[in-house]
């Protein structure tokens, strides 16, 4: 077992409902029992026109490397997020440098919602909701429970993240929210 403190750094939740895709992330970065930062920005727009929402859980530098690589793939396969994500996952799994990156990402556009992992997985969730990170399972459960009772994707996402922040000690309520009309 490593003697280094374990970093816990995020909860990211994506909800698609109606004509909206919402991606929300908390701002907490913790090392061991210490909150190192409370206002980290872990969700953003990527793509040529900001038409893709992306969020990460894990090491920040690793996530930025992955976003940069994903944008390169999007340039190669414009308008095809799924193909770009699959190509990124292939590189992530096979490239000697990339395979050491420790992060998960959620990406979504007008037609796709995907979770991309370093094991080569590109997962399209069964439901129009995806979550990753320390509090991901709490946020996912809450969002799925709220989904049939709320009409607004942003309301679902904010309420679910609030619930996650009240349960998971590695998740705070300093949310960054990005929305996309689909």
Q: Tell me: the pLDDT tens digits for 7-24? A: 456 899 999 999 999 999
- Burial environment of residue 148 by CB neighbours within 10 A (0 to 12, 13 to 18, 19 or more): exposed
Please report the domains of the chain, with CATH numbers, ordered by start residue: 7-173 (3.60.20.10)
Q: Which tops the pLDDT comparison, 136 or 29?
A: 136
Residue 29: pLDDT above 90?
Answer: no
Structure tokens of 64? Answer: 């930025």
Q: Looking up tokens 């969700």, which residue turns up? A: 43
**pLDDT at residue 105 in the model:** 93
- Burial environment of residue 135 by CB neighbours within 10 A (0 to 12, 13 to 18, 19 or more): buried
Question: Any idea which residues carry the catalytic annotation?
Answer: 10
Q: Looking up tokens 């970065």, which residue turns up? A: 29
**pLDDT at residue 10 in the model:** 85
pLDDT digits (tens, 9 = 90+) for 97-151: 777 777 889 999 999 999 998 788 999 999 999 999 999 999 999 999 999 999 9
d(CA 39, CA 44): 14
Q: Give the pLDDT band of residue 167 (cuts 50, 70, 90).
A: very high
Q: What is the pTM of this model?
A: 0.92
Q: At what angle do helices 136-147 and 153-167 cross, to 10 degrees?
A: 140
Q: What is the rounded (10 degree) CA torsion for 39, 43, 47, 50? A: -80
Q: Looking up tokens 């990124």, which residue turns up? A: 88
Q: Which tops the pLDDT comparison, 154 or 6?
A: 154
Q: Which tops the pLDDT comparison, 4 or 36?
A: 36
What residues contact 24, with CB distance under 8 A and at least 6 apart? 12, 13, 14, 43, 55, 157, 158, 161, 175, 176, 177, 178
d(CA 112, CA 91): 20
Q: Give the pLDDT band of residue 65 (cuts 50, 70, 90).
A: confident
d(CA 26, CA 133): 10
d(CA 58, CA 103): 4
């Amino acid at each position: 077992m490593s003697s280094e403190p374990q970093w816990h750094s995020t909860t990211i939740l994506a909800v698609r409902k109606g004509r909206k895709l919402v991606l929300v992330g908390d701002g907490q970065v913790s090392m061991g029992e210490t909150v190192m930062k409370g206002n980290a920005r872990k969700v953003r727009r990527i793509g040529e026109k900001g038409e893709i929402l992306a969020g990460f859980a894990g090491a920040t530098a690793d996530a930025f490397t992955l976003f940069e690589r994903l944008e390169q793939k999007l340039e190669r396969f414009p308008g095809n997020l799924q193909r770009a994500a699959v190509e990124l996952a292939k590189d992530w799994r096979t490239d000697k440098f990339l395979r050491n990156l420790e992060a998960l990402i959620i990406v979504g556009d007008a037609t796709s919602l995907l979770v991309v992992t370093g094991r080569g997985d590109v997962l399209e969730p069964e439901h129009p909701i995806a979550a990753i990170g320390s509090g991901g399972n709490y946020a996912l459960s809450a969002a799925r429970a709220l989904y049939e009772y709320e009409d607004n994707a942003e309301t679902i996402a904010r309420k679910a993240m609030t619930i996650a922040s009240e349960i998971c000690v590695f998740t705070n309520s300093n949310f960054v929210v990005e929305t996309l009309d689909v």
